[in-house]
A and B are shown apart, each in its own frame.
Chain A
Amino acid sequence: MKKRHYLRRHIEEGLVKVLMILSFVLVVGSLGLILVTVLVKGLPALNLAMLTQTPKGGYYLGKEGGILNAIIGSLYMAGGATILAIVFSLPIVLYMGTYARRSSYADFVRLSLDVLWGIPSIVYGAFGFTIMLALGMRASLLGGILVLTLLEIPIMTRAMDEVIRMMPFDLERASYALGSTRIETATKVVIRQMLPGIVTAILLAFGRAIGDAASVLFVAGYTDRIPTSLFRPVASLPLAVFFQLGTAFPEVRQRAYAAALVLTFIILAVSLGSRWISGRLSKYTIK
């Protein structure tokens, strides 16, 4: 009787462990499967012309040209949005971290940021477009940048906030003890100590913005040209994938795969790059 019980316990333990490892392999395997699919489909379609040319006449029927317009457009939009988002995110984080440390107001701001983070990007897009209609603006690079900025602020702020909360209070205390004001502590001590986290947060938000299609669907438009001003419409990589995958021409669909590969590559580079940079910068922080 006792032995059977003993045996059952061990069978149960083993069974659960096998199930866990299986589901774990399933999860990691699906990531591998996605990357392999994108590589296998995208690599044959990728060539130099694709990366260095804008679409020529008849491009969407399978003629010559490339997706340079979408690559540059995406970089413009996500880059501009990231810079704007930093301008808003840093003050919010510093306020929550130094001025309103451990206050219920900071918790409330955190909650509103978390809620904003969860709002579907299509709602951001629709909201942005109604505002633009009300202001008489047309789909443009500026519209895309502004909507992506709104999308990025919660992501960037919360990512930075997680880092600042980990920061030892002793450092700030030492700074105050030397007679510095809160703003001086924030800009000269806290920012420096948080630098690796700030860089990671910025690149995280950049990655989200460059990959988001639903929010820029209405506000940025789509064009074959590289925009020359903020008020021109702009192409983007996610929309290049989306529009070209839906066509009936196999050659055009090939290009959707190529665009997807370029996009995935940018995301991978940003992700690895942020790890590398924050690793390099962390030597300037006090552990």
Chain B
Amino acid sequence: MDSKRLRSRSFLFPSRATKDRLASGGFFLITLLPLILLVAMILALVARSWPILEIKPIGELLTGRIWKPLQGQFGFFPFIIGTFWVTVTALVVAVPPCLLSAIYLAEYCRSHTVAIVKPLLDLLAGIPSVVYGVWGVVAIVPAVQSVKPFFSRWLGFIPFFVSDNPTGFSILTGGIVLAVMIVPFIIAVAFEVLRAVPNDARRASLALGATRWQTIRYAVLPQSFPGIIAGVVLGASRALGETMAVLMVVGNVPNIPKSIFDPAYPLPALIANNYGEMLSIPLYDAALLGAALVLLLVVLFFNILSTLALRHFVRRSKV
């Protein structure tokens, strides 16, 4: 190799080796971008919500029950609890069918069935959230409205199912729409986790005369359980931040809900409905960005935890 030419340095016509080093440096700088973005996001939100964090203790903001921006009262509690209930409802609705479907796909289906179903799930994941919202308004809101009398008549002794909300815009509606949105996500993760369980475990169990379900229950699930939990947490962190679809069906009333038929007002909806307008009210935009910061930090916490856990489980079983 003509090493002189490889190392020759000309400003206009860099040698191949120089090009390689230039690209290496340039590419490296671009890989810093995601991290910079993440840090910038947190810093910008902290800086812009600082005016309110400075005056009011964080505990008071998080547990305050009254939201009256005009009077300078910014209590996030109704919104936090609204987010919580909508997310929990979505998980309760979504998780059982998701797990059963994922097990079915990973353990029972033939590979060409999987090849047909996976694109369908990808499609479901790709549908924009406003379209889910339209579906919720058109189909789920009237459905919830019509099943509500049934619930209050037969299950009225449980306060959870009784509400004086005359419409179908409620936590349950938001939860159902959200559930359908996170289904493809949870199924995809659970499917990957189940697939990562080595086949030896299945073969050994089947060879001992166990049925397929017994094999799944005693040989496959115990190994994949932590990974599946991580997948569900990841799905939950998606649900926490979902904005448009929930905003369209959940009613948006800043009270503390008492039943799943009550309206709620999740944090993302609060930001979407109010930010950008009425910024002349003092501290209002700081409060809204504070809400965004709370949302961001909660999502980051769940997200980092479950991503690391998932990586650990999927990789360990692949080796």
Q: What residues make up the interface of A, taking CB atoms closer than 8 Å to B?
A: 9-10, 12-13, 16-17, 19-24, 26-28, 30-31, 33-34, 37-38, 41, 88, 91-92, 94-96, 99-100, 105, 109, 111-116, 118-123, 125-127, 129-131, 150, 153-154, 157, 179, 181-184, 186, 204, 207-208, 210-214, 217-218, 238, 241-242, 245, 256-257, 260, 263-264, 267-268, 270-271, 275
Contact = CB atoms under 8 A, between A and B. Distances in A.
A10 B307 CA distance: 38
A96 B30 CA distance: 11
Interface residues of B, number: 84
Given A23-B97, A92-B31, A38 B292 contact: no
A242 B268 contact: no
Contact of B23 (A21, A34, A183, A241): A183
A37 B135 CA distance: 6
Contacts, number: 253
15 contacts: A19-B100, A30-B183, A31-B124, A37-B139, A115-B38, A119-B303, A120-B243, A126-B45, A127-B45, A129-B276, A157-B34, A181-B19, A257-B138, A271-B123, A271-B126
Contact of A241 (B19, B130, B288): B130
B34 A242 contact: no
B31 A109 contact: yes
A20 B16 CA distance: 58
Contacts of A27: 97-98, 101, 121, 124, 183, 187
A234 B132 CA distance: 23
Contacts of B212: 13
B115 to A, nearest CB: 11
A28 B100 CA distance: 13
Interface centre among B31, B35, B37, B275 (most CB of A within 10 A): B31
Nearest to A214: B243
A27 B104 CA distance: 12
A275 B120 CA distance: 12
Nearest to A213: B244
A260 B130 contact: yes
A183 B21 CA distance: 9
Contact of B138 (A41, A242, A267): A41
B163 interface: no
A217 B272 contact: yes
Interface in B296-310: 296, 299-300, 303-304, 307-308
A181 B22 CA distance: 12
Contacts of A207: 126
A267 B128 contact: yes
B75 interface: no
Given A20-B108, A114-B303, A130-B48, A213 B187 contact: no
A211 B180 contact: no
